[in-house]
Copies of this chain bind each other. A is one copy, B any other.
Amino acid sequence: MGNIELQLVKYAKVVDHFILERLSGSPENLYKAALHLVKAGGKRLRPAIAMLIARMLDGIEGEARAIPLAAAIETSHTFTLIHDDIMDRDDFRRGVPTVHKTWGESWAILAGDLLHAYSYNFIVSSVEYGLTKSEAHEAMRILTTAGIKVSRGQAYDLLFEKTWDVSVVDYLDMVFHKTGAMMEASAKLGALAGKAGADVIELMGQYGSFLGVAFQIRDDYLGVFGDPAKTGKPIYGDLRRGKKTLIVIYAVNSLKGGDRDFLVRILDPNVEKDEESLARAAELIRKSGAEKEALNLARIYADRAKEIVGRLKNVADEEAREALIVLADYAVERER
């Protein structure tokens, strides 16, 4: 696990350098707001997926070609975080106050829009890094497809806050859009930079998509049981907002009587709740077996991702393949 975190840091440096180099301009406040979360850190999992896949398929040349694509994905991801934090009324992210908390909502909307435009601009730059215009066109198609899916996934997430009519299948469909789509795009862009054919691009997309869903289920788990000092997010945030996460759906399905009623009431976003009742809700979720069930499903998706990368023939770099396998484990074992 320590090793893969070092890999992430290595790629983070390369991608951050690209982003910081190009994301400057006036007015200063706008660019400060846009770079706020970039500078606050983050795991840079999405760029790492792109760059590792490019390296696995075409060595260090592939890796170098992936830089602007990895930067585009991270920039697009950051834009969605800024806007999601406004919608979710979140005050903290990556251990720092969110963009709208620091600069106000208008600036957060604009900073997100600016990053969104830059993410496509970075795809345009990919021809400077060795992609053909035809490949850049394909890269654009991959990113716009993901962008549309992410908006739709977030819309489902908002809708689910207001209803109990959410099945495990509904949840998974939402997560395949909200989180899976951007990781799928990361993986496809990495494969494109690695000069892969359409079939391998598609296969790598599946790796990214499965890893994304596994990652999100772990995220939901950390949202209830994680250590805020490690996650950088306030404790019980998802419970407060009544998010229909997988552990919550499992728990409500298996709890009975007063326990179930208590959890359902806590998850009503309109009900005032104190720390103590949130802690009791978390305890009920643990008691229900939902925690274990959710982590099992995350493990299944992570294993599918590992299997896809494991069975690939003729890879250029075995170390990168190994790192992609460890990355899938990291997605479901991480504490932050």
Residue numbers of A with Cβ under 8 A of B are 25-27, 29-30, 79-80, 83, 86-87, 105-107, 109-110, 112-114, 116-118, 120-121, 123-124, 127, 133-134, 136-137, 140-141, 143-145, 147-148, 150-152, 154-156, 158-159
Can you name 26 A-B residue pairings with CB atoms under 8 Å?
A25-B148, A25-B152, A27-B155, A27-B159, A83-B110, A83-B113, A86-B106, A87-B105, A87-B106, A87-B110, A107-B158, A110-B155, A110-B158, A114-B151, A114-B152, A117-B144, A117-B147, A117-B150, A120-B120, A120-B140, A120-B144, A121-B148, A123-B140, A124-B144, A133-B137, A136-B137
B-chain residues with CB within 8 Å of residue A80 when the two chains form the complex = 113
The answer to whether A124 and B148 touch (CB under 8 A), given A86-B109, A87-B106, A154-B110, is no
B-chain residues with CB within 8 Å of residue A136 when the two chains form the complex = 133, 137, 140
The answer to whether A151 touches B110, judged by C-beta atoms less than 8 angstroms apart, is yes
Q: How far is the CA of A27 from the CA of B83 in the complex (A)?
A: 18
The answer to whether A124 touches B137, judged by C-beta atoms less than 8 angstroms apart, is yes
Report copies per complex.
2
The answer to whether A148 and B114 touch (CB under 8 A), given A137-B124, A158-B106, is yes
The answer to whether A156 and B116 touch (CB under 8 A), given A109-B109, A110-B87, A137-B124, is no
Contacts beyond the supplied A86-B109, A136-B137: 8 A-B pairs with Cβ under 8 Å: A25-B148, A27-B152, A27-B155, A87-B106, A107-B155, A117-B144, A121-B141, A124-B137
B-chain residues with CB within 8 Å of residue A152 when the two chains form the complex = 25-27, 30, 114
The answer to whether B155 touches A29, judged by C-beta atoms less than 8 angstroms apart, is yes
Q: How far is the CA of A86 from the CA of B86 in the complex (A)?
A: 12
The answer to whether A117 touches B151, judged by C-beta atoms less than 8 angstroms apart, is yes
- Taking the nearest CB of chain B, how far is it from the CB of A141, in angstroms? 5
Q: How far is the CA of A158 from the CA of B111 in the complex (A)?
A: 13
- Taking the nearest CB of chain B, how far is it from the CB of A156, in angstroms? 6
B-chain residues with CB within 8 Å of residue A121 when the two chains form the complex = 141, 144-145, 147-148
The answer to whether B107 touches A83, judged by C-beta atoms less than 8 angstroms apart, is no
